[in-house]
């Protein structure tokens, strides 16, 4: 396989690309590792229903706090079909990010399909879920199949500020991983699921959050989704080690660790127990923050030292007025 390398000659951070509007592709933190928080973000796909909500309430209860004493948060990429919009309201009020995952969950591989479904589902979430339209800024393509060159442009026109659909495969431990970046100079990586935007298809100020593959619990095969590994853990200990080893791999460089997944993974009790244990361990660390993708990108726009995170307003506490329900 030929892997396309980043064309760094076009983008020069601080010269023709300046934060917060523009961020070049990079394999390292904009700050020294010792000053960089380890960001963990969760992005769950598909319908939001009662069965899924039980898992989210357990894992992201309001008493689980980041080091700044604000509750941890996640991102939900919600499709229309089979969604209970009262739950959308609940999780938005708890401080979770609500993003879009289409209306029909079919392959959306043309500009026309993307424009239609991205616009209508944003309206559904606003009207039926009471989420302010201006806060619905993230899109994930069903089946991770994109509209190629037209995806960033179309989403930006509809008021989205980021896409989280393009995958990046890691095949061994300690391999360098890309950070989120803006599409000012196009998409420079190998296209895992065609079509992808080309390196020449720039879109100023529009963010791309790569879906970076995990390695399965045996360290043998990559999996873009946590629940999509060929070697699936069969015990709580194996599942926990799977999560922990992927965390440690990112922790060396402080590359943001993204859990792209479906909550159906938690239908196997050992997986739910392992993730519950993992999040508990993460909240004990004074340099780890579990935040939504939206909040993660605010840090990318305004890189802030661990010691000064109290200055980053976007990471402040949002009132969580709804108590955990059973």
Average pLDDT value for residue range 279-289: 98
What's this model's pTM, rounded to 2 decimal places?
0.94
> Can you give the pLDDT at residue 190?
93
What confidence tier does 2 reach under pLDDT thresholds 50, 70, 90?
very low
**Contact at 8 Å (CB) between 228 and 265?**
no
DSSP codes, 297-316: HHHHHS---GGGGGG-GGGS
Under the phi-then-psi rule, with left for phi > 0, alpha for psi from -120 to 50, and beta for the rest, what region is 166? Answer: beta
**Least confident span in 5-9, 140-144, 310-314:** 5-9
Comparing 5 with 173, which gets the higher pLDDT? 173
Phi and psi torsions of 290, nearest 5°: -100, 105
> Can you give the pLDDT at residue 199?
85
Average pLDDT value for residue range 206-214: 97
Q: How many CB atoms lie within 10 A of CB 319?
A: 10
- pLDDT for 4 beyond 90: no
For the chain, give every domain's residue range: 37-307
Tell me: the pLDDT tens digits for 20-42?
999 999 999 999 999 999 999 99
Q: Domain 37-307: give its CATH code.
A: 3.20.20.370
Mean pLDDT rounded to a whole number for the chain: 94
> Can you give the pLDDT at residue 47?
97
Which of 112, 94, 16, 12 lies closest to 53 in space, CA to CA?
94
DSSP state of 82: T
* Greatest extent of the chain over all pairs of C-alpha atoms, in Å: 54
């Amino acid at each position: 396989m030929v892997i396309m390398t980043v064309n760094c000659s076009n983008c020069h951070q601080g010269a023709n690309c300046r934060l917060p509007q523009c961020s070049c592709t990079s394999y390292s933190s904009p700050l020294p590792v010792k000053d960089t928080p380890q960001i963990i973000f969760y992005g769950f796909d598909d319908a939001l229903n009662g069965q899924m909500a039980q898992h989210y309430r357990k894992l992201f209860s309001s008493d689980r706090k980041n080091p700044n004493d604000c509750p941890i948060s996640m991102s939900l990429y919600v499709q229309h079909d089979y969604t209970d919009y009262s739950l959308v309201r609940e999780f938005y009020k708890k401080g979770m990010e609500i993003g879009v995952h289409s209306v029909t969950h079919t392959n959306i591989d043309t500009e026309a399909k993307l424009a239609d479904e991205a616009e209508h589902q944003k309206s559904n979430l606003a009207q039926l879920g009471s989420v302010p339209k201006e806060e619905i800024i993230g899109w994930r393509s069903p089946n991770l199949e994109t509209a190629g060159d037209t995806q960033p442009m179309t989403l930006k026109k509809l008021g989205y500020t980021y896409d989280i659909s393009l995958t990046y495969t890691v095949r061994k431990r300690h391999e360098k991983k890309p950070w989120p970046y803006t599409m000012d100079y196009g998409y420079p990586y190998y296209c895992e699921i065609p079509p992808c935007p080309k390196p020449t298809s720039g879109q100023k100020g529009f963010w791309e959050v790569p879906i970076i593959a995990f390695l399965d619990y045996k360290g043998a095969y990559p999996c873009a989704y946590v629940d999509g590994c060929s070697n699936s853990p069969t015990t709580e200990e194996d599942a926990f080690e799977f999560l922990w080893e992927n965390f440690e791999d990112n922790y060396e460089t402080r590359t943001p660790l993204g859990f792209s997944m479906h909550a159906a993974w938690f239908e196997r009790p050992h997986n739910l127990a392992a993730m519950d244990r993992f999040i508990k361990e993460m909240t004990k660390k004074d340099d780890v923050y579990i935040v939504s993708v939206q909040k993660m990108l605010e840090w990318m726009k305004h890189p802030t030292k661990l010691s000064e995170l109290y200055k980053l307003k976007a990471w402040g506490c949002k009132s969580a007025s709804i108590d955990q329900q059973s």
